[in-house]
Chains A and B, each alone.
Chain A
Amino acid sequence: MAGNSELRFLQTDVVVAGGAGAGVTAALAAFRAGADVILVSKGKVGRSGNVVMAGGSLSVDGYSAKKVMGLEADESISPEGWFDSLVKEGFYLSDQPVVEQFTSDGPAIVKEYIQWAQRANVPFKQLKDGKWVSSGRNFALALKEGLRDAPGVEILEDTSVIDVLMRDGRPAGILALDIYRGELFVVLAKAVVLGTGGYQPFSLKNSVTDMTGDGVGIGFRAGADIADMEFLLSLPTAVAPPYLRGSILPYVLIVYCGLKGGAWPQFRDAHGDLIAVPEEIMEKTAFYKGFKLIKLVCTYYWGEAIFHGRGTKNGGIFLDYSRYTPKQREEAVKGYFSVQGEYYATNHYKGDDISRVMDNLRDGKGIETGLGFEYSCGGLLIDEHMRTTVPGIFAGGETGSGTFGAMRVGDGLVEMLVQGYKAGESAAAFARNIEPGTPDKESTRCCVERAYAPLRRKTGISPVLVQARIEKACDAGFGFRRTEAGLLAALKELRRIRTEDMPHMAVSGGPRYNIEWLTALQMENLMVCVEHGVLAALERKESRGNHIRDDYPQVDHDTWTVRQIFTPMADGGINMRKETPRVTKVPLLRGKDENVMQFFLRPDLDYKRYQWG
């Protein structure tokens, strides 16, 4: 390659970044459309990405379950109902054409996905109509099976995409790092799909540990707009004992001990005092169809208690089942295992031994639980064809934005499948009309220099420490309860880290499997995400979905039914605009609600979740 003759390079039509749901389906769709495809995955396909962390379930509406998938299903639960609940659960910030693509294209790819699972002989349990439950590992194995339908796709695993290389404002390929060999190389391509997941800047998270917003940072550096960065979904997550920290076991316990075992916990603070949730809220949100709003109920009420000093030293609260008799508690445990026992070793959830937690539950002891982060609603601004604002760069799944607006309640698994597939189709069509070319020398040189810089700098700050500092700043001011002062403090510290620490990130040792080096490159992406996320959260002087302001608790539909979008500036400055979401079917709301929970109680919301509990 001109100017960078030391880098080896590969050539293809479409290069896909990401080895889980969005990446695999994008590669498959582009392959089927006749494109040459290279798939680049940070981990191994079938063992990586947030899909392995899923709880989890996926579902489609009843009408489609019957008509598209040929199942016995209640067809009165329509695609329109599915659409309606997604927009309302997203507090009206969804981009409705993107939601339309989700509900209309979802059933076909879900049908195919279920077939992959059957072929791979991994158990997906069909609960009711169009809903399936399985484990994260199984979800990932089904994807791996699906990729066998695209035998021509070249798969590069344990390889991280670093940047999109440009020519004349369009992508000409990517720069990638082979993690084990410690080698940078180039994949020349006519179109790029980014499906690398979202971003998690907190110390308590239940995503994979390095969900560092790679696709978002890479896309933004290439010139693409980002949106909705202030919305990050949290849910009940283990904080103790240390070996369980980050597990979503508490959430799964709440749901399945309740649903199948008939026992719902009370919530108690560090002093043993009740964290009260109004009866009406429990009935109309937490216990409402599918129990999906329980994540917001816990985030809102626990978050309030923890933020105002009632949390444990681990930042948690307690699940309390003591009001039930020992026999009832045993039933609750049995109820839990009747569903979850199917996928894991005895007394395990995923790979963790949960005997002690279950004994505590049987004994009526409190189970310490915090709020961990799972999913980022924001990301690259995309349309219903998964086009970003840079021609030739496409994004799908958690890397994009607009599906779930201000809060995800619907299925992230469906999102990755349906958007990945569309992104692959769009990328292949785009590539068809493009002649191959080489990236601009200068942009390539800059990307390569930037990538090598921390490796060449032998003294300075460890990138591992930089990540810890970013997490500390975000825990303190950008978490599940926000205030002006907290956000300003977070922004100040993040900018200090960006300007004072990050230019001095240094890596010891050689390039092969150098985690400090990879972390340094990832921190560039994470910083793009958090800085814009905090800016958007500061600007948004209301509460909405997963963005809960202690100082602005109201949901203000009149002023704030807008998406906040950032355009990258050549000089590194901030360019933010506000846009009303595109509406196709569900008109936007007026007025105000007292808080994010009261929003779900307003009579004119007419909220009917498509899913049946």
Chain B
Amino acid sequence: MHVEIYRQDDENNSVGHYDIFVVPYTDEDKVTVMDVLDYISLHYDGSLAYYKHSVCDHGICGRCGLRVNGKAAMACTTIAETAHLRLDPLRSKDVVRDLVVVP
């Protein structure tokens, strides 16, 4: 699975870009977007920022919002089912870092 992720560092007015990661999952695996992000964080790039503090991981707290292939979704309950996954921060608020927006 190819995962394209929006990156923006935490300096003010910084310009974003995309990083591409290849993760060993297929659409058959039924992993969530959160699982994909955890895999990248552990194996490739721990500096990746996505909502990850006080996480319920089962669609209860509703705080891990992001855009998956353009659509707003929760990372923890959205199943990664496409060979190419594009992840962006939500549009409605300012970006703090990478996929994280102001609370």
Of the candidates B31, B32, B53, B74, the one having the most CB atoms from chain A within 10 angstroms of its own CB is B53
Tell me the smallest distance from the CB of B56 to a CB of chain A, in Å. Answer: 5
Q: Which residues of B contact A48 (CB under 8 A)?
A: 54, 61
Residue of B nearest to A157 (CB): B103
Q: Is there an interface contact between B97 and A513, defined as CB atoms closer than 8 Å?
A: yes
Q: Is there an interface contact between B60 and A43, defined as CB atoms closer than 8 Å?
A: no
In A176-226, the 8 Å CB interface with B consists of: 179-180, 182, 208-210
B79 at the interface (CB under 8 A from A): yes
Q: How many residues of A contact B (CB 8 A)?
A: 46
Which of A350, A465, A518 is close to B60, meaning CB atoms less than 8 Å apart? A350
CA distance A56 to B96 in the complex (A): 35
Which of B41, B74, B97 is close to A351, meaning CB atoms less than 8 Å apart? B74
In A234-265, the 8 Å CB interface with B consists of: 241-243, 246-247
Which of A180, A352, A509, A516 is close to B59, meaning CB atoms less than 8 Å apart? A352
Main secondary structure of the interface of B (DSSP, over half): loop
Q: Which residues of A contact B42 (CB under 8 A)?
A: 462, 464-465, 468
Q: Which residues of A contact B79 (CB under 8 A)?
A: 243
Q: Is there an interface contact between B53 and A242, defined as CB atoms closer than 8 Å?
A: no
CA distance A513 to B103 in the complex (A): 11
Main secondary structure of the interface of A (DSSP, over half): loop
Q: Is there an interface contact between A208 and B55, defined as CB atoms closer than 8 Å?
A: yes
In B27-74, the 8 Å CB interface with A consists of: 29-32, 35, 41-42, 46-47, 49-50, 52-63, 74
CA distance A510 to B50 in the complex (A): 14
Q: Which residues of B contact A518 (CB under 8 A)?
A: 53
Which of A135, A157, A515 is close to B49, meaning CB atoms less than 8 Å apart? A515
Q: Is there an interface contact between A516 and B47, defined as CB atoms closer than 8 Å?
A: yes
Against B, the Cβ 8 Å flags (1 = close, 0 = not) of A324-355 are: 00000000000000000000000010111100
Q: Is there an interface contact between A509 and B63, defined as CB atoms closer than 8 Å?
A: no
Q: Is there an interface contact between A180 and B60, defined as CB atoms closer than 8 Å?
A: no
CA distance A512 to B9 in the complex (A): 9
A396 at the interface (CB under 8 A from B): no
CA distance A351 to B56 in the complex (A): 10
Against B, the Cβ 8 Å flags (1 = close, 0 = not) of A424-459 are: 000000000000000000000000000000000000
A25 at the interface (CB under 8 A from B): no
Against A, the Cβ 8 Å flags (1 = close, 0 = not) of B13-39 are: 000000000000000011110010000
Q: Is there an interface contact between A350 and B58, defined as CB atoms closer than 8 Å?
A: yes
Against B, the Cβ 8 Å flags (1 = close, 0 = not) of A388-421 are: 0000000000000000000000000000000000
Q: Is there an interface contact between B54 and A42, defined as CB atoms closer than 8 Å?
A: yes
CA distance A598 to B78 in the complex (A): 44
Tell me the smallest distance from the CB of B21 to a CB of chain A, in Å. Answer: 15
Tell me the smallest distance from the CB of B87 to a CB of chain A, in Å. Answer: 15
Tell me the smallest distance from the CB of B13 to a CB of chain A, in Å. Answer: 14
Q: Which residues of B contact A513 (CB under 8 A)?
A: 10, 49, 96-97, 100
Which of B11, B31, B103 is close to A180, meaning CB atoms less than 8 Å apart? B103
Q: Is there an interface contact between A47 and B55, defined as CB atoms closer than 8 Å?
A: no
Q: Is there an interface contact between B60 and A516, defined as CB atoms closer than 8 Å?
A: no
Selected A-B contacts with CB under 8 Å, 12 pairs = A43-B63, A53-B58, A158-B103, A180-B96, A208-B57, A243-B79, A351-B60, A464-B42, A512-B10, A513-B10, A514-B97, A515-B52
B interface residues (Cβ-Cβ under 8 A, vs A): 9-11, 29-32, 35, 41-42, 46-47, 49-50, 52-63, 74, 76-77, 79, 96-97, 100, 102-103
- Given A43-B53, A243-B35, A510-B11; 13 other pairs, CB 8 A cutoff: A42-B53, A47-B63, A158-B103, A208-B57, A208-B61, A242-B30, A242-B31, A348-B59, A350-B56, A509-B9, A509-B10, A515-B50, A516-B47
